[in-house]
Chains A and B, each alone.
Chain A
Amino acid sequence: MARLSPPDLVLLQIESMPMTAYSRYIGRRFLLLLITVFISMTVVFFVPRMVPGEPMTAIFANMASVGGSVNAQAMIAEYRARFGLDEPLWIQYISFWRELLRGNMGISISNFPAPVSQLLLRALPWTIGLLTITTILSWLLGSVVGAAIGWRGRKAGAFRFIVPIALLLYTTPYYILALILIFLFAFIWPIFPLSGAYAVGSRPGFTVDFILDVLHHAMLPALSILLVSLGWWFLSMRSLIIALKGEDYILNAEAMGLREQRIMWGYAFRNALLPQATGFAIAMGHIVGGALITEVIFAYPGVGYQVYNGIKSLDYPLIQGGVLMIILSVALANFAIDIAYPLIDPRIRYAGSGGK
């Protein structure tokens, strides 16, 4: 047993698991996912409709501000009919589900006549591209460095200066950090562009030039997210490792004369990884919600701004579409971690088996 490496341990777990119990466990989790999505979407359908306010003003504020206000009532009525808002609420609710199951998220009111799916799908690649890479990078980097520093403790020597820096980064308000980065690297030393996802006027496409341009533009927003989230992953991993150092099994492993590297990565790090993995799954789930402040400060295209704008203008279809994506990805990320937990945690057994 002691000679097995961590991947072997995982394999052992899977092999030793009764498959029927495991699939029952997965089935239950999946049912829970469906119920979560159903309840959340129902709430998201009704709550905006209970807010006092006329979503059509999103259209008419635009229109009347340029002079159009004759027959406003008739116009509002006609547009309400176009969006099906003249129907009783329960009929709207049923047709909402019918359309959604067909994959139709409707037409945005405030960006009429743009379809919600088009608005979201166009913003999604930017959000996912930026946030997935930064989330994975900062999680990996934060966890590994946090573990190394935490394990060595006072022996870490000069590397201990990382701790106050991480604290500083973690406690710095994000927008201030972002503005400092802009000020330093887009203004004082204009190494990176000030804003946007690519140069103004260039046409998106899979050319080397365009991809380089995109990377160049993504550097500052990515760096800002990386720095802020890095601090958290680093600090939490470090404290987890410090807490684990006193555990009996670590002392036991030391007594058995295992190499320190082996104890640190194979025993301490692996156990500390579990809470980190939960945090990681939750962070991944929130990615499609976008990073509103990043999008605003760096004028970076993304989902966050679309959803924010939808909520502001009571754009029911846009709110529903945006929230659906967020709920789905959070629920799926949780589902994924639920499935993976029994596999990566030697102590957790799927419910119902009563442990071994």
Chain B
Amino acid sequence: MTRLLNRTSISLLLLAAILLVTACTAAPPGAPGAAPGAGAAAAPVDAERAKTLNIAVSKPFAGTDNFNIYAPGFDRSRTGLGAMVYEYLFYLNMETGDYIPWLAESYEYNNDFTEITVKLRPDVKWSDGEDFTADDVVFTYAMLRDNPSMTWANEASKAVANVEKVDDLTVKFILTEPNPRLHLVREAFPAVPVWSGITIMPEHIWKGVKDPVTFANNPPVGTGPYKLASATESAVSYVRRDDWWGTKVFDVTPAPEKVNFMHVGPETSVAIALTANEIDTPAIGILSPGAFVSVKERNPNVEAWLKDAPYAWYDPCPRALLFQNDHAPFNDPNLRKAVSSLIDRDQIVTLAYEGSTATANTIYPAYSGLKPYMDAIKDIVAKSAVTYDPAKAEEFFTAAGYAKNGDGVWAKDGQPLAPVMLTDSGDPESMKVAQVVADQLTTGGVAVQLQPLAGAVQESARLAGSWDIAAPQAFCPGTIYEDMELFHSKFYVPVGQPAPWYERNSFRYKNPAYDAVVNEMLAALGKNADEATLVDIFKRGMEIWYEDLPVTPLTQAPALVPFNTTYWQGWPNAENPWMMPVNWWATMNLLLTGYKSPETGEWVPGIHPAGQ
């Protein structure tokens, strides 16, 4: 037996040695590292590949017969349908702040913000040759009103009472209540900032459909520059349309002839595919910072938003720790502040995010457009309890009536503070952050009980609110008013019933004074108030918010999105931030086509083949 074991270990060593040698000597194919300085010269060999854009997604596709963007089970972010086949009236470029007219030419509110009149662009055609007209817009809203179980149908009907056709190229949106922000609300108005939203469907295809919820819509007929070529478990593929209306109207053709949204496997496989130039850009959350760095070392053509660490672009949804404001113990603001002061956010960035993000002391993204607002609340933030300060934490604990017991745990009335902390065990980011936070709180004298749940069980529990702390939570969409509104008590439901959404008050915060400021903000927006007024209202809101601290900010949200410049170049980055570097949103078509800057009137070009 010993001889056998010896032999086994020898073979093991041998195999390990062989692996090591091959790993060190063999050059990965196409990795320019093999020939120093040959980066640009390493010309693509495969002509077919050079015409194709390959995007790696995180999971295989299911239900690939269905291309109904309004079907609840439809996967909007990974299939690319909203970006490739469909187009929207307007796009919001969050990076530059441009509101880009696309299928429409202009919009105009009436005086009291109860109507929006939209001028549609002439000469827009569906992929089957039919004209895109006001009838399609009117039809889409009518369909949503008749079928409330379609995605966004309730949102659309709640905000928009009716859509009228003024003429073939003019529609009038009659709103249910004054709303100066409707042109930014993707779930009620066909203009997209993120994953997609209300999408205009061709009336001539959809009008005879019996049940639009279960209609497969295959093949999808859209106005976009690409059409669906094939869809399987591993890839959804699109080919460029030569008869796209934009080619005639804008005189622009997107460079890739084919676009594949493909699943190549887990992180290691995506890293290998990216190194071997099989992938041009993966979706968010696939490559960890460590994997990205090792890919970059082997393939210098791979880059990201920033040249150096943390490399990542910031997603508009910063992460925060939720307190359950509705019941003890965290219905006490002092206790919320005490726990918040025990959290070392730098450590979270280092340990949980491998340095790929920045700390946050607000729930707003670090975008330049929000700077005036953030500058205005600097003093409020500075004296609030959102930084690591154990001494201050002790003061807050004492103020809340807690004292340390014999085990070094904070206790009140003989009850040690042992909150249940919910986290999503199916999401590596959640688990990492929750473990670091739990560790910090335990060290600080809070006997946290980590409760990792997965899938639907976790989602239900988070919405029902039967936890004390939940970590971490993304706060979207990252605009001033919409983020303020998340804390409005109109979203409050008692514990046990599902909250409207995670960041839409699953933490059950209720403060009439804060509600009043949010209402005031909306009214001011309705009156087209100047920025100084808005900043002032925001500041008053944040005074209450930081005093109550219903949730506590942790970090900015990293979106580490690698771009491979071997085949395609011109990707946006920090030096040339012409567009959001995001391939999983419905704005992704603009990365390929580019767009006409509303400010300068110049065409901002999309990505182009390498070497041009």
**Residues on A facing B (Cβ under 8 Å):** 51-55, 57-76, 78-79, 82, 108-114, 118-119, 122-123, 161, 163-165, 167-168, 179-180, 182-184, 186-190, 194-198, 200-204, 295-299, 301, 305-306, 309, 311-314
> Inside 8 A of A184's CB, which chain B residues have their CB?
22
**Proximity string of chain B (229-273) to chain A, C-beta cutoff 8 Å, 1 when within and 0 when not:** 110111101000000000000000000001010111110110011
The yes or no answer to B149 lying at the interface (CB within 8 A) is yes
CB distance from B121 to the nearest CB of A (A): 25
Cβ 8 A contact of A68, one of B19, B54, B152: B152
Choose among A194, A305, A309, A312 the residue that contacts B269 (Cβ–Cβ < 8 A).
Answer: A194
Judging by beta carbons under 8 Å apart, are B265 and A297 in contact?
yes
- Which residues of chain A are within 8 angstroms of B12 by Cβ–Cβ distance? 168
For the A-B complex with A75-B148, A75-B149, A119-B63 known, give 6 more contacts whose Cβ atoms are closer than 8 Å.
Answer: A62-B75, A65-B195, A108-B73, A113-B63, A187-B272, A194-B264
Known contacts A67-B152, A114-B65, A299-B263; A201 and B235 CB within 8 A of each other: yes
Instruction: Assess the A123–B187 pair: CB atoms within 8 A.
Output: no
Within 8 Å by CB of A73, from B194, B456, B497, B504, lies B497
State whether A195 touches B234 (Cβ < 8 A). Answer: yes
**Residues of B with C-beta under 8 A to A57:** 456, 459-460, 463
**Distance A63 CA – B461 CA, assembled complex (angstroms):** 18
Q: Which residue of B lies closest to A48 (CB)?
A: B456
User: Could you give 5 example pairs across A and B, Cβ below 8 Å?
Assistant: A69-B501, A71-B154, A119-B62, A196-B235, A200-B237
Give the docked Cα–Cα distance between A298 and B500 (Å).
38
State in angstroms the CA–CA spacing of A113 and B234 once bound together: 20
For the complex, give the distance between the alpha carbons of A198 and B233 in Å: 11
Known: A66-B152, A67-B186, A200-B260. A53 touches B62 (CB 8 A): no
B152: chain A residues at CB < 8 Å are: 63, 66-68
Interface membership of B44, Cβ < 8 A: no
B513 interface residue (CB < 8 Å to A): no
> Which residues of chain B have C-beta atoms less than 8 A from A113's C-beta?
63, 66, 71, 73, 213-214, 216
Are A194's CB and B273's CB within 8 A?
A: yes
Contacts of B504 in A (CB 8 A): 69
Q: Is B28 an interface residue (CB 8 A)?
A: yes
Q: Is the CB of B15 within 8 A of A168?
A: yes
How would residues 550 to 569 of chain B score, 1 for a CB under 8 Å from any chain A CB and 0 otherwise?
Answer: 00000000000000000000
In the bound complex, CA of A113 to CA of B559 (Å): 31
Structural contact, B498 and A109, CB atoms closer than 8 A: no
In the complex with contacts A55-B456, A200-B237, A182-B272 CB distance below 8 A: yes
B455, closest chain A residue (CB): A312
Q: Could you tell me which residues of chain B, from 257 to 314, have a CB within 8 Å of some CB in chain A?
A: 258, 260, 262-266, 268-269, 272-273, 275-276, 278
Residues of B within 8 A of A313 (CB): 455-456
Least CB distance from B20 to A in Å reads 12
Asked if B533 is at the interface of the complex by the 8 Å CB criterion, the answer is no
Contacts of A118 in B (CB 8 A): 65
Contacts of A109 in B (CB 8 A): 73
Say yes or no: A68 contacts B151, CB within 8 Å: yes
Q: How far is the CA of A72 from the CA of B195 in the complex (A)?
A: 19
**Cβ contact within 8 Å between A52 and B457:** yes
A314 to B459, CA, bound (A): 11
| A196 and B264 contacting across the interface, CB-CB below 8 Å | yes
Residues A63 and B148 in contact in the complex (CB < 8 Å), given A194-B278, A201-B230: no
CB distance from A167 to the nearest CB of B (A): 5
State A58–B460 Cα separation when bound (angstroms).
10
Shortest Cβ gap from B237 to chain A (Å): 5
Complex contact B62–A309 (CB within 8 A): yes
B26 touches A188 (CB 8 A): yes
| A256 CB, nearest partner CB in chain B, Å | 33
- A51 partner, pick from B10, B266, B457, B463, beta carbons under 8 A: B457
Return chain A residues, CB-CB under 8 Å to B4.
163-164, 167
CB-based closest 10 A-B pairs: A67-B187, A112-B73, A114-B63, A53-B457, A111-B63, A301-B233, A312-B455, A113-B214, A314-B456, A59-B72
Taking A53-B455, A112-B72 as contacts, is the C-beta distance between A179 and B268 under 8 angstroms? yes
**A299 & B265 in contact (Cβ 8 Å cutoff):** yes
Set A79, A197, A200: member contacting B262, Cβ < 8 A: A200
User: Considering the chains assembled together, what is the distance between the CA atoms of A168 and B8 in angstroms?
Assistant: 7
CA distance A72 to B264 in the complex (A): 35
| Prevailing SS type, chain B contact patch | loop
Q: How far is the CA of A182 from the CA of B266 in the complex (A)?
A: 12
Interface size range on B against A: 35 or more
Report the minimal beta-carbon distance from B531 to chain A, rounded to whole angstroms: 26
Q: In the complex, A309 Cα to B455 Cα: how many Å?
A: 9
From A55, A114, A179, B62 is in contact (CB under 8 Å) with A114
- Taking CB atoms, residues of chain B closer than 8 Å to A201 are 229-230, 235, 237, 258, 260
Instruction: For the complex, give the distance between the alpha carbons of A59 and B461 in Å.
Output: 16
Whether A60 lies near B72 (C-beta < 8 A) is yes
Inter-chain contact B73/A59, CB cutoff 8 Å:
yes
Q: Do A111 and B15 form a contact, CB below 8 Å, given A54-B460, A55-B456, A68-B151?
A: no
A53 touching B460, Cβ below 8 Å: yes
Interfacial chain B residues near A55, Cβ < 8 Å: 456
- The distance in angstroms between the C-alpha atoms of A73 and B498, with both chains bound, is 8
Chain A proximity of B230: nearest CB distance (Å) = 6
B172 at the interface (CB under 8 A from A): no
State how many angstroms separate the Cβ of A298 from the closest Cβ of chain B: 6
Q: Which of B22, B72, B187, B230 has the most CB of A within 10 A?
A: B72
Which residues on B sit within 8 Å (CB–CB) of A73?
497-498
Task: Report whether A194 and B276 are in contact in the complex, using a CB–CB cutoff of 8 Å.
Answer: yes
Which of B493-546 touch A at CB < 8 Å?
A: 497-498, 500-501, 504
CB-CB < 8 A to B237: which residues of A? 200-201
How many whole Å from B232's CB to the nearest CB in chain A?
A: 7
Q: How far, in whole Å, are A110 and B71 apart by their CA atoms in the complex?
A: 11
Contact B62 A301 (CB under 8 A): no
Complexed CA–CA distance, A280 and B169 (Å): 69
Q: Are A76 and B8 in contact (CB under 8 A)?
A: no
What's the Cα separation between A123 and B61 when bound, in Å?
11
Q: Which residue of A lies closest to B7 (CB)?
A: A164
Q: How close is A124's CB to chain B, nearest CB, in angstroms?
A: 12
- Interface flag for B60 (CB, 8 Å): yes
Cβ-neighbour of B158 out of A70, A204, A301, A314 (below 8 A): A70
> B62, B72, B454, B456: which has the most chain A beta carbons within 10 Å?
B456
Measured between C-beta atoms, what is the minimum distance from A73 to chain B in Å?
7
Q: Does B197 touch A at the CB level, under 8 Å?
A: yes
Interface members, chain B 116-146 (any A CB < 8 Å): none
- The B188-205 residues at the A interface (CB cut-off 8 A) are 194-197
State the CA gap A82–B214 with chains docked (Å). 11
Task: Kindly identify which residue among A75, A161, A311 contacts B154, using a CB–CB cutoff of 8 Å.
Answer: A75
- Say whether B76 faces chain A, with CB atoms less than 8 Å apart: yes
A68-B155, A195-B269 known; A299 and B60 CB under 8 Å? yes
**B11 at the A interface (CB under 8 A):** yes
By beta carbon, the residue of chain A nearest B216 is: A113
A69 neighbours in B (Cβ, 8 Å): 155, 500-501, 504
- Residues facing A in B37-85 (CB within 8 A) are 54, 60, 62-63, 65-66, 71-76
Q: Which residues of B contact A297 (CB under 8 A)?
A: 265-266, 268-269
Which B residues touch A123, using CB under 8 A? 233
Which chain A residues border B461 with CB–CB below 8 Å?
A: 52-53
- Which residues of chain A are within 8 angstroms of B463 by Cβ–Cβ distance? 57
Q: Is B29 an interface residue (CB 8 A)?
A: yes
**A53 CA to B7 CA in the complex, in Å?**
52
Take A54-B456, A111-B73, A112-B71 as given contacts and tell me if A66 and B235 are in contact as well, using a CB distance cutoff of 8 Å. no
CB distance from B482 to the nearest CB of A (A): 10
* Bound-state Cα–Cα, A51 to B197, Å: 32
Q: In the complex, how many angstroms separate the beta carbon of A63 from the nearest chain B beta carbon?
A: 5
B372 within 8 A of A: no
Report which of A58, A67, A311 forms a contact with B197, defined as CB distance below 8 A.
Answer: A67
Q: Which residues of B contact A75 (CB under 8 A)?
A: 148-149, 154
